[in-house]
Structure 1
Amino acid sequence: MEKVFVAMKLVSSLAIVGIFSWILYVYGNMWLKIQRVRMKLQKQGIKGPPPSFLHGNLPDMQRIQAQASNIAKASNINHSVDQFLAHDYTATLFPYFEHWRKQYGLLYTYSTGMKQHLYVNQPELVRELNQCITLDLGKPTYITNKLAPLLGNGILRANGLSWAHQRKLVSAEFFMDKVKGMVGLMIESAQPLLKKWEQISEGQGGGTAEVKVDEDLRELSADVISRVCFGHSYSMGKEVFSKLRTMQKAMSKQGGFLFAASGFGDILNFLSKKQNEISSLEREIESLIWKLVEERKRECSEEISSSSSEKDLMQLLLESTMSDQTLGKDFSKSFIVDNCKNIYFAGHETTAVAISWCLMLLALYPEWQTRIRVEVAQLCPNGVPDADTLPLFKTLTMVIQEVLRLYPPAAFVSREAYEDIQIGDLNVPKGVCLWTLIPTIHRDSEVWGPDANEFKPERFSEGVSKACKFPQAYVPFGAGNRLCLGKNFAMVQLKVVLALIISKFSFSLSPGYRHSPAYRMIVEPGHGVHILIQKI
């Protein structure tokens, strides 16, 4: 018996040694591959922090992040308006980028475990990157793999031919002529919010009342996207939005979401309680969406007008899968559900956050409220905009553009080279991930002038082309063939909602507001936006 035990122990030891030997062999080969890629970049004059074996620059990133967090905690004081606007929040959210930018400039390379990256914030290279139309350049696969529970295989996560097919289908819903027809629904969706705030103000005897705008704006934006894209109100999809938000927060809390090394850490993470929670939410969201799809299918079959030109996105998705007989039933279902998840999430979350940032800055600068209010009164005597007057809102457009410059919800333009590709004079080896940090390029004094950190909407008085030295450096919606599909939709909704709010209320920033931008897949107010409103 003892010999059997010794033999089993020996076998176990050999197995463990064998496994670790295999790990070292695989990682060693991968490490050599990464080193070869790094050498190709270095030969082009691209520098960067020296990586450690296996972990790359992850230990440096963690150390720099910890130092920045300690500094932020130590200086936790009430800043004046000018102080916190002048502060580049990316130095707190992504301090390693700022640290290396000071050392290596606007183009450098670094690695995270077995992935090599390029930081690209030179305006000319950003332009070349965004003009690149090859399908060999797409979203980083290690990031999209982590986003699978939230986005499935929908358009935001897809690459290559799958992405091209989905974009062709979905983009039709967001052409400007189609978006103009959505203005009436946007106004209808805004009415509950306006009435709620009026009641809050009247409850204070017509005086000032404090509101936390975030959830109200999310509900408004969710109702808009539900109505115009899926043919139902927010109340029917409320649980979907709630669970998507819960999943978003859970995924954002996972350690190293953007830059964690792959390997056994991912396996352990998969087995963690947090991952189990995410998997459960994924199943619940897909089930809820499919119920809405089934309901929409019944409605479409009963509507005589379903063949008219006024089709919503869900109808287009249903018709697309039904017309293609080569698609299996399971694929058709996942195709519809995944794209619904993508539009539900991206279509309402980023717009609601953008409106929150607009209200925050307008609360700080009431003179711009006044200017917008006068403009709305001149163009819309009843205070209600329509599709024809929206393009005439010059002041409101300038304010929105400036807010999206200072606080773009999207933090990055990110790409991965699936093959060796040429971007300008740069040779990018296969497997390299490229990152453009949008808030940094939006606040670059070399691009925008010495007042780059100041809120000055007038810089856009003659459009983006005259607002800065390099117009390609303004990318709140991305650029090129991956330009945000919902750009027109978002801009129209921002104009409609802000025009309605400003024509009915004046507002200032609450003393309880804490300025703390947070990255939760998008850059949002970390503690919400609290404002003091008064009905006009």
Structure 2
Amino acid sequence: MEANPIPMTKITVSVVIGGFIVLLMQLYNLLVLKPKLLRAKLQRQGIRGPSPSFFFGNIPEMKRIQLQVHSTPKTTATKECDRPDAITHYWPSTLFPHLEQWRNEYGPIFLYSSGNIQLLCITDPEMVKKISLCTSLSLGKPSYLSKDRGPLLGQGILSSNGPIWAHQRKIIAPELYIDKVKGMVILMVDSTFSMLRSWERRIENEGGIADIEIIEDFRSLSADIISRACFGSNYSQGEEIFSKLKALQGIMSKGNIGVPGFRFLPRKNNRAMWKLEEEINSMILKVVKQRTEASYEEDLLQMILEGAKSNNGYYGPSTNSSRDKFIVDNCKSIYFAGYETTAITASWSLMLLAAHPEWQARARAEVLEIVGDSLPDANMLRNMKTLTMVIQETLRLYPPATFVVREALEDITFKDLMIPKGINMQIPIPILQQHYDLWGPDAHKFNPERFAHGIVGACKTPQAYMPFGVGSRVCVGQHFAMTELKVILSLILSKFCFSLSPTYQHSPAFRLVLVPEHGVTLRVRTT
């Protein structure tokens, strides 16, 4: 007998409808119920914030507030003859006006949403201190870093958690300890001299003084240093990698994190992002292949290659694909963090020294006294107290990373506030680092003297100074970065005097890191 097709059709329809209902329930839980329950747990404890809209959270309101601020007429050009205080350093009110507005309205701890990501913004110094001192595994990097920022960070050391992160840090950190970095100073000096010789030729060709846009030069210099110090190559070999990383960074800075599903849509930006990711990954693996076919060098890249062989399945089954992903993700993290942040900080430092000639003269006098006719070495760099103060103050006013974010991987309590699993605690670094109660009435001004007795002497709550992050997740490359900055700045000060070009426009911009939107152009002459 033939089977009756009608019951089978009904079963199929029932299965499809059932599956659709289950999908709708899962979406409802993800987009509505879970965020609402998380917010409710904090609201019952007195935490307030703006009401989010469905799907986009508070993103529309954030854009509206930013548009209002940016539509206000303002003059950004800063002429060479202007007083130093003509440059306004309190840029967070322009870049992140929604945080300023909500902090004034809801208090130092408030709640808002970016898509379906729930953010607990914390500007209370005592709460920040508690979080910075916490070593619990219940705190970790937010999951959106490896998702929404996945093409740039993947599951590298900047975005991973748990055993994966511990394995990565065990491999990478020892290669950037201070004793190792001391051995890299000669290399840093050599790379910097190459750039300075090009400046000298340009100044000579232009009659003894030249306007130089410094950021791209610093990016090339920093890329050369990180390439030679950590990857056994030079900038010319990795030039295309850095160029594409910069392009990827630019695209990702325009996206909205947390909007469900947006990163999967074949929009123009996403297609460009996917293409860049594929090209960068391919180029990094090409560098790795060249290394494995060449002679053995015990540097950071070699340690990453060794670590890929023993990643204990953290990236899935131990296959060529998982090993390649381990290598690529960590190389991208080092490339990105190692060249962009240092180049930008060096640019901000020279901008501030150009705007404050008295500090430029003071730092130059110190460098010439310590170095003399020699080349700077690790011991000399350690004795450059004034230059260290200048760098610390630059990092206070213009930190490359603008937020420290930690996700509660389990329920955790700080100062009697229970923070539920899934909440992202967001600490806005620039707001804390220019907080009047912590830094005094000149918090918005350039005053390196505040660091004369170190960070502890500069700030009432030292943990609120966090240009390299906080706690156990503090940047593994901070010694490398500080040494590189001292080498670059000391050599420039020893050879050149500089002021701000009349074309300089002071306009900090957020491009995943804090950058000068219109570059930094200096009027440079030899000393």
Q: Same fold (TM over 0.5)?
A: yes
**1:277 alignment partner in structure 2:** 272
- Which consecutive aligned stretches of 4+ in structure 1 deviate over 4 angstroms post-superposition? 18-25, 79-84, 323-326
Q: Deviations over 1:50-105 (max 9, x none)?
A: 3334443233212212212212xx22454655565445211111111011011122
**1:334 alignment partner in structure 2:** 325
Counterpart AA for 1:232 = S
**1:4 alignment partner in structure 2:** none
Q: Residue 465 in 1 paired to residue 456 in 2?
A: yes
* Residue pair 2:55, 2:260 contacting (<8 A) in 1 also: no
How far apart are residue 162 of structure 1 and its match? Answer: 0.7
**1:171 alignment partner in structure 2:** 173
How far apart are residue 351 of structure 1 and its match? Answer: 0.4
Q: Residue 313 in 1 paired to residue 311 in 2?
A: no
The secondary structure found in structure 2 opposite 1:108 is: strand
Q: Which moved more, 1:372-381 or 1:171-180?
A: 372-381
Q: Residue 492 in 1 paired to residue 491 in 2?
A: no
Number of aligned residues = 507
Q: Which moved more, 1:503-512 or 1:162-171?
A: 162-171
Q: Residue 403 in 1 paired to residue 394 in 2?
A: yes
Counterpart AA for 2:301 = M
Alignment equivalent of 2:292, drawn from 297, 305, 310:
297
**1:102 alignment partner in structure 2:** 104
Instruction: Point out where structure 2 has 5 or more consecutive residues left out of the alignment.
Output: 1-12
Separation (CA, whole Å) in 1 of partners of 2:299 and 2:510: 32
Q: Residue 479 in 1 paired to residue 478 in 2?
A: no
**1:214 alignment partner in structure 2:** 215
**1:75 alignment partner in structure 2:** 74
Separation (CA, whole Å) in 1 of partners of 2:182 and 2:169: 20
* Residue pair 1:515, 1:527 contacting (<8 A) in 2 also: yes
**2:67 alignment partner in structure 1:** 66
Question: Identity of counterpart residues, as a percentage?
Answer: 48
Gap change, CA 1:30 and 1:179, over 3 Å in 2: same
Separation (CA, whole Å) in 2 of partners of 1:30 and 1:243: 34
**2:352 alignment partner in structure 1:** 361
The secondary structure found in structure 1 opposite 2:407 is: strand
* Residue pair 1:438, 1:475 contacting (<8 A) in 2 also: yes
Describe how 1:79-478 pairs up with structure 2 within 5 A: 85-206=87-208, 208-254=209-255, 256=256, 258=257, 260-263=258-261, 265-268=262-265, 271-301=266-296, 306=297, 311-322=298-309, 327-382=318-373, 384-478=375-469
Counterpart AA for 2:434 = R
How far apart are residue 419 of structure 1 and its match? Answer: 1.5
Counterpart AA for 2:305 = L
The secondary structure found in structure 2 opposite 1:389 is: helix
How far apart are residue 329 of structure 1 and its match? Answer: 1.9
Counterpart AA for 1:285 = I
How far apart are residue 136 of structure 1 and its match? Answer: 2.6
Separation (CA, whole Å) in 2 of partners of 1:191 and 1:434: 43
**1:6 alignment partner in structure 2:** none
How far apart are residue 135 of structure 1 and its match? Answer: 2.5
Gap change, CA 1:112 and 1:244, over 3 Å in 2: closer
**1:518 alignment partner in structure 2:** 509
Separation (CA, whole Å) in 2 of partners of 1:323 and 1:472: 35
How far apart are residue 324 of structure 1 and its match? Answer: 6.4
How far apart are residue 403 of structure 1 and its match? Answer: 0.5
TM-score of the superposed pair, with normalisation by structure 1: 0.90
How far apart are residue 149 of structure 1 and its match? Answer: 1.0
* Residue pair 2:347, 2:520 contacting (<8 A) in 1 also: yes
Instruction: Point out where structure 1 has 5 or more consecutive residues left out of the alignment.
Output: 1-11
* Residue pair 1:136, 1:160 contacting (<8 A) in 2 also: no
Separation (CA, whole Å) in 1 of partners of 2:338 and 2:183: 17
* RMSD after superposition: 2.3
Q: Deviations over 1:116-153 (max 9, x none)?
A: 21011111111211222223322221233111111222
Q: Deviations over 1:306-353 (max 9, x none)?
A: 5xxxx2101111223345686322211221122111111110100000
Q: Deviations over 1:5-24 (max 9, x none)?
A: xxxxxxx9xx99x9699648
* Residue pair 1:85, 1:453 contacting (<8 A) in 2 also: no
Separation (CA, whole Å) in 2 of partners of 1:363 and 1:68: 28
* Residue pair 1:135, 1:161 contacting (<8 A) in 2 also: no
Counterpart AA for 1:510 = S
Q: Deviations over 1:181-201 (max 9, x none)?
A: 110000011012100110111
